[in-house]
Amino acid sequence: MLDAFLFAANAVLPIVILIAFGYILKRIGLFTKDFLNIGNKLTFRVLLPVMLFYNVYNVDSLSDINWGFVLYGILAVLVIFFIGIAVMCAFTKDNAKRGSLIQSVFRSNYAIIGLPLAESLFGAKGAAAAGVMSAFCVPTFNILGVVALSIFNGSNEKGKIDVKKILKGIVTNPLILGTVAGVAVLGIRELFVLGNITFRLKDIEFLYEAMGDLKAICTPFALLVLGGKFEFSAVSRLWKEIAFGTFVRTVAVPILGLGGALILRATIMPELAGEHFATYMGVFATPVAVASAIMAKEMGADDDLAGQLVVWTSLVSAVTIFIYVTVLRTMGIF
């Protein structure tokens, strides 16, 4: 048990410390509101797309992908998305709140917390599996986010579906663009392999190293900004929505997602290993994505609630992730 405790602590606490440090820097005045807003945009529009491109491109080979592992992750996210719509529509009649709450159900902070968590849990194998999953789950998260916020927002009280608006949101989303670009270049690389062409993106050394540097600063910078964006206002007005959204994101969804994976491993997919569960931890057990608050503000949903859900799910998940990691470690998964 002590071994499992220390293992979980070493995986989770570095992330929590960076978030807490960001909050402290804001409290002492080193992080201003303007800096944090710019930092948020920089993370969303530049650093995260570059990191996602880099991670996808560095997938070893498309032929080595465990498609059962990927398929379960995506199908589970889709099922959770539709369950989330039903649950949150029953929970509140406010369309703007529905949009933010639905995002809290399915949209994990995979890019910022999930990827480093997978690497912390299972080293290089965890990072590789998480990189493969990012090529599929990040576009899924963002496409579903655009769909949810296009239907459920303050200016669309009747919940009408504007297909043109949804498609525009999808094709202009920076995270989707970064991932799609990575998949495209990866596909070109695979064609080069088939054609015995030796040229690779890594051969443009100055460009590849620059992208690697941007990728390296993305996670710590984003976690610091996330900590700096923490605000404890509006809790009294939104406490029911915050409590319910936080419970669903940090308890109900991980139990569904990880529990389903354990059942699959015990029945038809015994090949699911530690690196796969490290990735599923990132998909199902991490807090609400920071980008959800940015998109909520831009698309007319309740951005106060979205921001609070980012804050509280991040705080609570520091405990729940620890519990899930400890349980899986005790079961011999990690």
Q: Please give the model's pTM, rounded to 2 decimal places.
A: 0.82
pLDDT of residue 83: 96
Reading the block at residue 102, the tokens are 């639905």
Q: Tell me phi and psi for residue 288, to 5 degrees.
A: -65, 140
CATH annotation of 2-330: 1.20.1530.20
Which tens digits make up the pLDDT trace of 64-117? 678 899 999 999 999 999 999 999 999 998 888 999 999 999 999 887 788 888
Beta-bridge partner residues of 288:
108
Burial 11-20 (b: 16+ CB within 10 A, else e): bbeebbebbb
Q: So where are the chain's domains? A: 2-330
Reading the block at residue 152, the tokens are 């459920």
**C-alpha to C-alpha distances, 20 to 1, 26, 40, nearest whole angstrom:** 27, 10, 17
Which tens digits make up the pLDDT trace of 179-224? 889 888 888 888 887 888 888 888 888 999 999 999 889 888 988 9
Which tens digits make up the pLDDT trace of 46-79? 998 898 888 778 776 666 678 899 999 999 999 9
> How far, in Å, CA of 288 to CA of 290, rounded?
6
For residue 281, the surrounding DSSP H or E stretch is none
